[in-house]
Amino acid sequence: MKEQRKVKTVDAEEDLSFWHQIALDSDFCKEGDMREPTRDQVREMIAKLDRSQPGWRARMRENSFAIQLMDNFPLITKKGLT
């Protein structure tokens, strides 16, 4: 049981790291339209998508995750800072 919990924690960390990197590699982040999201913002976005859109990982396209982040955290956009 303890081993199972540890595996789930590792999987969750890998998932978080993967989606955080997807956001950082997005055109929006690279071109300066979006500030770098925090890991907490990415974690919250993953949880929201898990609740509202089961299977979202299989359907998410290249910049779509960044768009989801900007829609849910307007202050990470350059527009949200002005």
Predicted TM-score of the model (pTM): 0.83
DSSP code per residue over 9-52: HHHHHHHHHHHHHHHHTSHHHHTTSBPPPPHHHHHHHHHHHHHH
DSSP secondary structure letter of residue 59: H
Which amino acid would we find at residue 57?
Answer: R
- Report the sign of the C-alpha dihedral through residues 69, 71, 73, 76, in that order: positive
| Token pair 């925090």: residue | 38
Query: What is the per-residue pLDDT across 11-68, written as a single tens digit (0 to 9) for each?
Result: 999 999 999 999 999 999 999 999 999 999 999 999 999 999 999 999 998 899 999 9
